[in-house]
Each structure stands twice: as structure tokens, then as C-alpha cells.
Amino acid sequence: MLNPKVLYSAGLCLLMLLPAALLIVSLSSVPHAEAQGISLADNDLAARFAPVLHFTSGEKFYPTSVDYIISSSAVKQRNQGSLLPTIIDPAPTPSTLGQYTSSSNLFLDNKLGSLDAIAADYASKAKSTGYYAYVHILRSSSPTVIEYWLFYAYNNGPMNDHQGDIEVIQVFLDSSGDPQQVLLSQHGSGENAAWGNVEKIDTHPVVYVAQGSHANYFRPYQGKFGLENDVVGSDGITIMPSDLKMLILGEKGIRPVDQSWLDFPGRWGYWGTDDEVVRGLAGPLGVVFNQDGIRWANPTNYLRGTLTVDANYFTLAWVAANILLIFVAYTVIRGAWKAVAIVRLRKNGSLMMGKFLKSRGGVGLMLGITAIAITLAALSMPWYSITASSETGPLAKQQPVELMSINGVNGLQINMFLGSDSESSSGYRSLLSTQIPFAILIGAGIVLLILDVIGVKSGKSIGKKFLIGAITSLLPFIIIYIFIASLPSFMPLASQLTGVQNIPTQAVQTIQTVASNPVSGTAQQTFPTVGVTTLTWGFGLGAYMLIIAAMLRIIAGLTMLRTPELRGESPPTPTAPQAQPTQTQPSAVQTSPVTEASKEVAAGRYCHNCGNRLRSSAKFCPECGSDQV
């Protein structure tokens, strides 16, 4: 029989060893431990620089788990042409997805299909699923790079509309472990900034995620300039680093089984027929294969191909985002100043507009008003456009695709078919956009001009303003002509910023053809995927309306310059009453009243009502009887 004291001692030892045993068990069960080739220090490093993500109030999708995307999809194989895809696996899992590596024509197809259905399903599961960031730390390169990969269930941005979306935020560290640069993915390319130019909360870079497209930006006022073509802001959900569930991704050969999805070479979203690919309905490639693997395995090369932004760029972006507000403020201040002046003239009875309209200036003003009406109508009309329509190939029955458009409401937008390669979710890519509301700018100028007409003081001054307005009406036409003629010189920059190292020869030849005759033209070119395509380009109705408006303004201005001064005709010099001569009054005194009266008229004033010249001592106008003198 065992001694009770021995049993008590043994039990006490077991109780003391139990915490240590639990610790050993818990460490051995961590999925991303040293046994999986991942350092425990990686978790600390990932948490230290995890981003703060700001979204707009209109966002429908947030960074989610690969488990949610995979479990919502079926693995399918894309067939060439218009054939329907073949179902390979109706219910893949993160652990089994990586076994499908025999074909590059595979893709995940969300079983719900439509945007509305996917959005509704995600909204019902987002809270329970949570927010995820998949972290890849590349220590083999110099510098060390931390990659935060973000998965979205859908991309409903302004350019492409497709299932699945994958973006990345990369933090570059120096040899001491200090952050040096941050790179944000955008539309197949990206932009980078030095650590000092990045907004931060402690050690966490602040990132503004564009609505729908999920392109990443450094400032909330970006998205309105250059390659940017997004709605960006911070009026929606903010995901803090503590809200992110971060999972460390392992390297090939030593990663856990539940990360086999990294080996899947297909697209993470529907990838159907050729015409659907061209129309932007193809999902992105996975993180390892994204942009031919450069983002994952060689981020330094990816960094070199992106745009470097700094404080000067951010200032320019702020001006582009707030130019409307700035111009409206300027217009309101200047308009208020002019309105006050008009009120004063009205109070003093000095408004000349009625007299101006009765003179030759009225004819010029009518021409000017006609020009203004034509200008306003031209703002919503197309100023310039380039369209493409395929006579053969998958887009033969589709509506013409607009590659470029310029008008007074939406500004400038340039897209170009650059091929459905691995760097793009579709064949079309945004090359340039400026979302400056020309309509507001021109409209504000017209309002100020109308105030000038109401408070007109001189036909010459108002005539000069109409002539200046004619020049501004012609500027859009001139600027567009120069821009189109210079398009070939933008191709190297477009290649660098879009990440497309080799722009298709067909695209280069087409741009050169357009630039050689900017006014208008038609040309045929054979493109990959879409086949024989007819391009049509030229100035639109709006541009020619601006030219007509400018010509009318010139005629109106010249007419107003010839308008006589807005002064009343000088009346005959009144004869002063003759004083009866007396014997004691010298002759010099007899002529004195006439001389003084003449001086009063010569140095007199003008009637505020009719413009009649008055004596300096007049109490009322002898011409019209007005006492407004």
C-alpha cells in the first residue's frame, strides 16, 4: 500500500508541472511556428507595421478570409472561345485548392454569380468572418519586406467589374529594421512613398482604400489625378491593426497544408469567354502568380516600376481634389464684390445697363448672350472621343468601346487595350484621367461676366472682357489638339506607370496614327483577343460649338469696343441772365455772372438718371427733372 505522503508529494509535483506541460502543448499547436519554417518574431514584426485601413461610406466589401472566398466558389476550367467552362471541383477547400496545378486555365467561380447576390451574402457573414491580412515576410532580399495581402470578394470599381480582388501593401525595412518606404498596389501598378511622407498612427501606416476597386492611397483626397480614377475617403469603416486577423504565409515546401491555396495558378474570380475577359470580367491571379510573381518574390523590382510620390505630389493631388471648392470660393468672393458695387450704383441711380442696351452695345450684348448659351450647351457635349468597334472576334456584336473621352462634365479619361496578360484582370487599362469639372469653371466665368454686364460702366471695358472670354472658349480646342498630337511621347511613361513593360505594337501604331491627324480619322488594327478592330477618333460636337461661341464673342467684343461712352450729350451752354447796368457798376462786373455760369457748366457734374451735364451748383436736372444729381 502506498504511503499517503508519497501520493500527496507526487500530486503536488504534477500540479506544478501542469502549467509547463500546457505551455509546451500550446506552442506545439501554433500553426505558424518554427516547425513550419516561420519565426515567432515574424508575428511581432507583422503586428508592428500592420496598416490602418480607411474606407468610404459606399464600400460593400472589406478584407476577408481566403476560406470564405474558396468555400463560396467552385473550381472551373476556362475553355477557349465562347465555350462554357468545365467544372473541376464544386467544393474546394484551402487545403485542397493547391492540388490543381496542371492547367493555367483554372479559376474560382463564385457560386452566387451576380454582384448583388455576392454583396448580400458577404454582408450577412462579414461580422462573423472578420477582417484578414495575409502576411508574407521576405528576409532573403535586401531590404527586408513585409507584404500585407488583402483579399476581397468582389471588385466593383470604375474600370473593371469582376469577382475577386487582391491588393497588397508592402513595407520596406533597412538593415537595422527601420522602415524606409511603403508601396501601395493600384490597378495593376502602384505608388510608393518614403516613410517620412506616409501618414502614421504610431508605427502603423495609414492607407485609404478606394471604393469598389480597393486600390490603396496615401491620402484621402487622392484618386482625381493622373492614373488615379477612384473614389477615396475616410467617411466609412476604419479597420485598425487590432481588428485585423493576421496570418503569416510560409514559403513553398515548408508551408502548412492549409496554405496549399498559394500554389493554385488560376484566377480568383470568374474567367469566362474572350469577350467577357475584354470587358473586365476576369478575376485576378493569386498572390504567388500576381504580375508574374514579381510582387510576391521580388518586391524591389515591383517598387522600381511604380510611381514615387512625395509632398509636392500630395500638394498637387490636394489642389486637383479641391479645385472646385477653391474656384467656387473665388467666384463667390468676387461675385459678392461685384454685386455690392451693382447695389451701390443702383442706389445712386448710376446703373448704365439700360442706356448701354439702347446703344450699339446692346447688339454686341445680344451676340455675347448667344455665345454664352452655346458655350453652356457645349459643356455636356463630347469634345473629343476615340472609340473602337470590332468587326471580327469576340466583340463583334458588342457596342463600340470608348477608349478616350473628353467633355466639360467628366473631364478627361483615357483607357487603352493592352492585352489580357497576367498583369491585368482585363484587356483594358486606365492610362490617364483628370476629373476636373470644366463645366463648373466655365459656368462660374459666365456668371461673373453677367455681373460685369449688369454693372457696365464702359463699352470698351466690357468689350475687352468678351474678347478675353473668346480666348478661353478656344483654349479647350487648342489644348486637346496639342495633347492628341503629343500622345506618342506619353507611351514610355504609360509603360512605366501601368507596369506593362512591352506595350503591344498594335497599340503603339494606333496611337501614332491618331496623333498624326488629331482632328478626325478612322483606322483598322488587329489586336490580340478582340481581332480586327476599327478605331474612330476626332473632335466632337461640343468642341465645334466652343469654336462658334468664341467667334460670336469676338464679334460681340469688337462691337462693344465701338460703343460710345455712356455719357449724356452736353446741352447748350445756358445764357446767364443779364444784370441791368447801373451808372455805379463797372463793365467788368456786368459780364461776371455769365463767366461764372460758364465755369459751373465746364466743371459741372452729370445727371445720374439721363447723363445730362449739369452745373456744379444744380439742385435738379433741367433735362429730365430728376433730383438725383
DSSP for 5-29, written as a single string:
HHHHHHHHHHHHHHHHHHHHHHHHT
Instruction: Return the half-sphere exposure (C-beta side, CA atoms, 13 A cut-off) of residue 432.
Output: 15
CA distance 70 to 97: 8
The pLDDT assigned to 141 comes to 65
Neighbouring residues of 130: CB distance < 8 A, sequence distance ≥ 6: 65, 243, 245
Average pLDDT taken over every residue of the chain: 79
Euclidean distance between CA atoms 300 and 287, whole angstroms: 16
Number of domains in the chain: 3
Count of residues in the chain: 629
Return the minimum-mean-pLDDT range out of 210-219, 354-363, 480-489. 354-363
Q: Nearest-CA neighbor of 538 among 553, 560, 516? A: 516
Higher-scoring residue by pLDDT: 80, 372? 372
Provide mean pLDDT across the span 478-495.
83
pLDDT tens track for 27-46 = 333 333 333 444 558 899 99
pLDDT for the residue 600: 47
pLDDT at 424 over 60: no
Contact 535, 514 (CB under 8 A): yes
Quick one: what percent of the chain has pLDDT higher than 90? 38
pTM of the model: 0.71
Which pLDDT does position 426 carry in this prediction? Answer: 43
Provide the 10 A C-beta neighbour count for residue 16: 9
Task: Say yes or no to pLDDT of 616 above 60.
Answer: yes
Q: Do 484 and 585 lie in a common domain?
A: no
Residue 94: inside a domain? yes
pLDDT for residue 8: 38
One domain, residues 587 and 496: no
Residue 570 DSSP label: P
Helix (H) or strand (E) holding 238: strand 238-239
Q: What is the mean pLDDT of residues 607-627?
A: 66
pLDDT in the model for residue 365: 84
By residue range, what is the domain housing residue 358? 323-561
Q: Answer whether residue 3 is part of any domain.
A: no
- What cell was used for 56? 468610404
Domain boundary among 561, 581, 602: 561
**Chain centroid, CA 138 distance in Å:** 33
Residue 537 included in any domain: yes
Give residue 281's pLDDT band: very low, low, confident or very high (50, 70, 90): confident
Q: Give the pLDDT confidence score for residue 489 in this predicted structure.
A: 85
- Cα-Cα-Cα-Cα torsion 609, 615, 618, 622, nearest 10 degrees, comes to -60
pLDDT in tens, 367-402: 888 998 898 888 888 999 988 887 766 666 667 777
CB-based contact 131:239 (threshold 8 Å): yes
C-alpha dist (Å) from residue 371 to 183, 446, 478, 624: 49, 10, 18, 36
Q: Is residue 327 part of a domain?
A: yes
pLDDT on residue 589: 44
Give tens-digit pLDDT for 98-155: 999 887 789 999 999 889 999 999 999 999 999 999 999 998 767 899 999 999 999 9
If asked whether residues 390 and 467 sit together in one domain, one would say yes
The confidence score (pLDDT) of residue 24 equals 34
Of 466 and 50, which is predicted with more confidence?
50
**Which one is predicted more confidently, 1 or 454?**
454
Same domain (yes/no): 246, 351: no
For residues 436 and 499, membership in a common domain is answered with yes
Asked whether the predicted pLDDT for residue 295 surpasses 70, the reply is: yes
Closest CA to 50 of 239, 297, 305, 324: 239
Do 334 and 386 lie in one domain? The reply is yes
With H, G, I as helix, E, B as strand and everything else as coil, classify residue 190. strand
Do both 445 and 512 map to the same domain? yes
On whether residue 111 sits in a domain, the answer given is: yes
Of 201, 44, 66, 200, nearest to 137 by C-alpha is: 44
Cα separation, 483 vs 133, in Å, equals 42
Confidence of residue 352 (pLDDT cuts 50, 70, 90): confident
Higher pLDDT, 315 or 278: 315
80: exposed, middle or buried (C-beta count within 10 Å: 0-12, 13-18, 19+)?
Answer: exposed
> Given a cut of 70, is residue 623 above it in pLDDT?
no
- Residue 356's H or E segment, with its range, is helix 353-358
Confidence at 82, pLDDT banded by 50, 70, 90: low
Tell me what pLDDT residue 14 has: 34
What pLDDT score does 157 carry? Answer: 80
- Position 26 in a domain: no
Distance (Å, whole) CA 602 – CA 598: 6
For the chain, percent of residues with pLDDT exceeding 70:
74
Q: Which amino acid is at 222?
A: Q
Cα Rg of the chain (Å, integer): 37
Residue that is last in its domain, among 542, 561, 580: 561
Asked if 520 and 614 sit in the same domain, the reply is no
Q: Are residues 589 and 544 in the same domain?
A: no
Residue 12 within a domain:
no
Do both 549 and 578 map to the same domain?
Answer: no
Q: What is the per-residue pLDDT for 145?
A: 95
Cell numbers that stand for 594 in this block:
455769365
* Statement to judge: residues 152 and 275 lie in one domain: yes
Q: Which of 205-214, 248-257, 422-431 is predicted with the least confidence, judged by mean pLDDT?
A: 422-431
Instruction: Kindly state the average pLDDT of the residues 424-442.
Output: 57
Q: Which helix (H) or strand (E) holds 89?
A: strand 86-89
Q: Which residues, other chains included, contact 599 with Cβ-Cβ below 8 Å and sequence gap of 6+?
A: none
List of E strands, 90-234: 106-110, 131-138, 144-156, 161-173, 179-186, 189-194, 200-201, 204-209, 216-217, 225-226
Q: Looking at the predicted structure, is the pLDDT value of residue 421 above 50?
A: no
Give per-residue pLDDT as tens, 538-576. 999 999 999 999 999 999 989 888 877 665 444 455 555
| Same-domain check for residues 554 and 410 | yes
Could you tell me the three cell numbers for 511? 496611337
Confidence check: pLDDT of 506 > 70 = yes
Q: Which of the listed residues 271, 287, 309 is the one where a domain comes to its end?
A: 309
Q: How many CB atoms lie within 10 A of CB 208?
A: 24
Q: Cα separation of 60 and 121, whole Å?
A: 11
Predicted local confidence at residue 36, as pLDDT: 41
Is residue 595 in a domain? Answer: yes
Distance CA 529, CA 421 (A): 11
- For the record, the C-alpha cell of 537 comes out as 477618333
